[in-house]
Structure 1
Amino acid sequence: MQIIDFHAHAFPKKVAAKAIEQLETHYNLNINNTGTLDNLLVRAEQANVYRMILHASATNANQVESVNNWVANVSSSKIIKFGTIHPEYPEIRRELDRLKELKIRGIKLHPDFQKFDLTDKKMYDLYEIIGDEFLVLFHVGDDVYPTEDNYSTPKKMAQVIKDFPELEVIAGHLGGYRMWDEAEKHIIGKDIYLDTSSVFQYISLERGSELIEAHGVEKILFGSDYPMKAPREEINNILNLDLSLEDKWRILTKNGLKLLSELKML
């Protein structure tokens, strides 16, 4: 089985420990992975993962080029690289063109860490520039802020895909991290991909199975959210879902291979 992990993060060695500490504080978690690229690849090997999509977000505009340079210099046959961009970055078009020259055709946007609202005008300007040129994985949902103040609610994600139907979107965390009732109301069933990252420590496998079936298994992608979780642990959660063996295979392998092949990212 050629397992595709669509949602994994790693950090340069010199900042990995600090990044893990910040993640633990933000999400109130104990993380048992180092967050380095070496550790990510070890965890991938332990889980027999075929390809991992590597994400790294610039938390401010000044980091955009350095983060993209680090991602571009990663060398591993297991890694498919996603770049970063920030709405405050002054040369968005130039940097997106540079990413394409570097053969990077995906972008990760994390509103809660990058401190922008999904429906902000500056973000709408960014979506216009991105168009259909990149596959965009959005972090959606967060329980740290009250719903009305949250940058990335499922309702806001639904508004974005309505206003920009040409965007190639993956909504992380089954459409809304720790906001799954709202995700069910606004995201589930829409014609976008969802990933399974950072879901099953909060909802039951039964509830997860219900949401997946309601959305459509063909639009679900496996994601471990390393370093939050190790891929092997999250693969076991998929295998224990109340779904057919064929549907589990679709989530772990078939859907990811199909999407990456269609976008010529393999």
Structure 2
Amino acid sequence: MIIDAHTHVWPDKIAEVALGGNALPGLEARGNGTVSGLDSAMDRADVAVSCCLGIANEARHVDGVNRFISGLEDERHVGFGTVHVELSVEENLESLRRHGLRGVKIHPLFQNYALDDPRLWEIFEAFGDEIAVITHVGAGGDAHQNSLSSPRMIQNIVRTFPKLRLMACHFGGYKILDDAEEMLSGADVVLETSWPPSLTTLAPERVRELIRKHGAERIVFGSDWPMTSPADEIAAIQALGLSDDETKAVLGGTLARLLGIESSWSR
């Protein structure tokens, strides 16, 4: 049972504009950002469940994004909502709970606040182990944007909030993998595999050893659709030369266990 930890969708009427507005230098979208587009990509890749990640670039959009994301929840889609540090802890929690969301996406590149912002840490403290968090980590923007997230920040979050169910995208350091390996390998944090434009741009032996050193039980597959093809990214995982058990853990077992989804791969 393949589960994709990392996809982005928007309402049909704004998907094109939203996708263009959240573009990153050097990356070209492989999909259109709509729910139907995601479903077609899932069908082609034999993905059973996708986590649909919402992002509010501004505080005033938080509840609207959460409303849309919660409306996607079904047997194929798990909604990860959004928070913003310019809202109070109570306002953020109220929105998530009102819409029944069990996870949150943090994206410093677009939300313009850092992973070590004290206001974000107040939110993490309130989450405890109730709300799962998946966050972008690493480069992808300009110098200021790139300074807002780092493997060291993830390391400090893990140490400060041991109950937090945290997933760090891009192996914990997009385009700064040396730092991520040094600071996070073996740490008590779940790492996610996406690496746009493709995981195949990394040496497979390096990815294989990274997964084995960290432990497949703490790795989750993520495509970062619509920036990549889920089918191609799954094929890249399958070609790493991992054991069958390791491959199943990465492609769905670890995330099923983390999110409480019934799957034989999580046993």
CA contact (8 A) 2:49 2:76 kept: yes
Question: Is structure 2 residue 178 aligned with structure 1 residue 160?
Answer: no
2:66 match: 68
Query: Post-superposition shift, 1:136?
Result: 0.6
Q: What is the CA distance between 1:246 and its match in structure 2?
A: 2.1
What's the CA shift for 1:201? 4.5
Aligned to 1:12: 11
TM-superposed deviation, 1:255 = 1.4
Contact persistence 1:178–1:202 (CA under 8 A): no
Instruction: Compute the TM-score of the two structures, normalised by the length of structure 1.
Output: 0.91
For structure 1, list consecutive stretches of 5 or more residues without a partner in the other structure.
none
Shift of 1:75: 5.2
Cα deviation 1:36-72 (Å, max 9, x = unaligned) = 1110011111111111111011011011011011112
1:254 counterpart residue number: 253
Matches of 2:81 and 2:181, distance apart in 1: 29
Large movers: runs of 4+ above 6 Å: none
- Structure 2 contact 67–99 (Cα < 8 Å) conserved: no
Q: Provide the rounded CA distance (Å) in 2 between the counterparts of 1:165 and 1:64.
A: 26
Q: CA deviation at 1:101?
A: 4.1
TM-score for both structures, normalised by structure 2: 0.91
Aligned residue among 19, 33, 36 for 2:34? 36
Aligned match for 1:49, one of 40, 43, 47: 47
* Cα distance in 2, alignment partners of residues 65 and 32 from structure 1: 28
Does the residue aligned with 2:90 lie in a helix, a strand or coil? helix
Cα shift at 1:146: 4.1
User: Comparing 225-234 with 15-24, which one deviates more in the overlay?
Assistant: 15-24
For structure 2, which runs of at least 5 residues remain unmatched after alignment? 263-267
How many residues end up aligned between the 2 structures?
A: 260
* Residue equivalent to 1:185: 182
Shift of 1:227: 0.5
Alignment partner of 2:148 out of 128, 151, 156: 151
Matching residue of 2:80: 82
Measured against aligned partners, the alpha-carbon deviations of 1:142-198 in whole angstroms (never above 9, x if no partner) come to 143449961001111111111121211011111111110000111121011111112
- SS class of match (1:84): coil
Q: Which amino acid aligns with 1:192?
A: V
Structure-to-structure mapping, 1:112-261, within 5 angstroms: 112-146=109-143, 150-198=147-195, 200-261=199-260
> What value does the CA root-mean-square deviation take over the aligned residues?
2.0
Q: For the Cα contact (< 8 Å) 1:53–1:82, is it kept in 2?
A: yes
More displaced stretch, 254-263 vs 154-163: 254-263
